[in-house]
Amino acid sequence: MESKKVLVVDDEIHIVHVVAIKLRSNGFEVVTASNGAEAFALACSEMPDIIVTDMQMPVMDGLELVGKLRENEKTKAIPVVMLTGRSFSIESEKKASLRISECLGKPFSPKELLKKIEDILSLDTVSAAR
């Protein structure tokens, strides 16, 4: 089985580092970005299987990033897991309209994030096989 590619986006380098280590040690290929603009360019060139992005970032925030991904023909179907600071929550309508697969509040457990990613990707595989 080929490894799945995950794009991890966060302006907090330690979060990117912890998530990347957890994913790589579980067989994922990891590409990282520190803001939404950089992440959008990488998503278009790397075509990851899933994107894990922070909501609060400089240059382009997570919601703007997902909006741009959904408008782009190449990236519109890529599942997204949104990481949010404790004081930020995304309204369910916004989450649904942007097709955000999952939201995790910070601090989160890397193990929990890994499980969510595996669940989302296995659902995608099942629906693609139908």
Assign residue 32 the CATH number of its domain.
3.40.50.2300
* pLDDT tens, position by position, 64-88: 999 999 999 999 999 999 999 866 6
pLDDT at 101 over 60: yes
Residue 119's pLDDT is: 96
Domain coverage including residue 38: 5-129
- Residue 31: pLDDT band by 50, 70, 90 thresholds? very high
**Would you tell me the crossing angle of helices 36-46 and 62-71 to the nearest 10 degrees?**
30
Number of domains in the chain: 1
Cβ atoms of 104 and 81 within 8 Å: the answer is yes
Residue 73's pLDDT is: 97
Over range 109-119, report the average pLDDT: 96
Residue 2's pLDDT is: 75
